[in-house]
Structure 1
């Protein structure tokens, strides 16, 4: 049985991905900032470990406890939505610490064992916001665009060692990261000058007709990760969700 380590597995895409791989016979190491035993079914193939991707000691402890890792899924992410001019640099740095530097730190920690075994795959979860511009998400998009470029370069760098690097690009859905896990009230980042524009943007997202087109589900992302992990071709990008697929075709 192969082993997959998933970051940010307490909810959303990470949780569904953990369920999907468990049901398909993998050993799953589900990592979370605050471990919860109640979110996943009891299984001898499951381990739940604490992990903060912004903490080097936490990363080292999780990697050691996990043992040999065949697939790493860098899913943990946070977002910040609002007008860029009103977004404090402290919030922007926090987003990059998790979405960009956290991904890089996890990747750097797992490469040596994969390189020595000449086997493994690293899957980085980004966003369809990298496929087409989306307003009021500039900092979030930048953090994910950085990982797009990073992963493309990494795929070439690791190919001689038979280690693969892949991207999964979720569309807009219930756990879309630029409106989730921010720890920031969006309204605090919308100055009066942007108020009408922001109402129109968020109003469109809440409109039932628009919601029907924004069809990305958590299982879509889990299946996208499954395809990426098991792909042995040179395919780099795996859009997940109907809207992401549509954007990828026109990007």
Structure 2
């Protein structure tokens, strides 16, 4: 029976991925900053662990408590929407601390055990903004693009130890709490000078032609965890798949 550790498992993609892998008979280590907030059902195959990916001490404690990890899913992240001009640098650093440096720190913490066993998968959840750049998401896109490059390099670096690194790229999921956990209101980042530009963009997001379901992401993570072909990118959701297929080759 294999074990998966998922960061940011209190809601959204992480929560659905925990449910999905539990349903497949895996041992699941669901981690989150506030374990008391979990809505996951009790199961002998489930352990809830406290974890703040921006804290080295929290990471070390969680990985030590977890024991052997077969699959690490770096899912924890925060979003933001707004004009870059008025996005505070303190907030941008917060984005990178979680979305970029948190992923790197978690990966660094589990690589030694995977390397020694010559087995394991690191799956980094990014976003479809890495496939097609979108306005009003410059800082968020940068934090996720950094992980795209990081994962491509890491995959090559770890291949000689039979450890795999993968990317899952979700599209737009209206049901997730994107940007609600970032501590800034969207309206505070859209000054009057950008209101006319932003209005049709928000209107398009209110009625998207294609979207991503949380189950799409869980299924893509499952596929990435089992892939032995060397495929790096796994777009998740109809909109992300369409963006991926439309890219110049």
Q: TM-score, normalised by structure 1?
A: 0.96
Q: 1:234 aligns with which of 227, 230, 249?
A: 230
Q: 1:160-179 maps to which residues of 2 (within 5 A)? A: 160-174=160-174, 179=179
Q: CA deviation at 1:174?
A: 2.4
Q: Deviations over 1:144-202 (max 9, x none)?
A: 00000000000000000000000000000125575342210111111211011111111
Give how far 1:214 is off: 2.8
Q: Residue 59 and residue 175 in structure 1: after superposition, are their counterparts in 2 closer, same or farther (change >3 A)?
A: farther
Q: Residues 179, 202 of structure 1: CA spacing in aligned structure 2 closer, same or farther, 3 A cutoff?
A: farther
Query: In the alignment, what sits opposite 1:249?
Result: 245
**More displaced 10-residue stretch of structure 1: 183-192 or 119-128:** 183-192
- Structure 2: where are the runs of 5+ without partners? none
3-state DSSP class of the match of 1:233? coil
The 1:177/1:39 distance shift into structure 2, 3 A limit, reads closer
Q: Any conservation in 2 of the 1:78–1:177 contact (CA below 8 Å)?
A: no
Q: Distance in 1 between matches of 2:226 and 2:37?
A: 28
Structural RMSD (CA): 1.2
Match of 1:218 in 2: 214
* Equivalent-residue separation in structure 2 for 1:182 and 1:60 (angstroms): 24
Matched residue, 2:68: 68
- Deviations 1:35-61 (Å, cap 9, x if unpaired)? 036511211110000000000000000
* Partner residue in 1 for 2:188: 188
- The equivalent residue for 1:89 is 89
Matches within 5 A, 1:72-221: 72-174=72-174, 179-207=179-207, 210=208, 213-221=209-217
User: Structure 1 residues 195-204 or 116-125, which shifts more?
Assistant: 195-204
Contact preservation (8 Å) 2:10, 2:38:
no
Does the residue aligned with 2:35 lie in a helix, a strand or coil? coil
Within 2, Cα distance between the matches of 1:172 and 1:203? 14
Contact 1:13 1:175 (C-alpha < 8 Å) held by counterparts: no
- Shift in Å, 1:233: 1.1
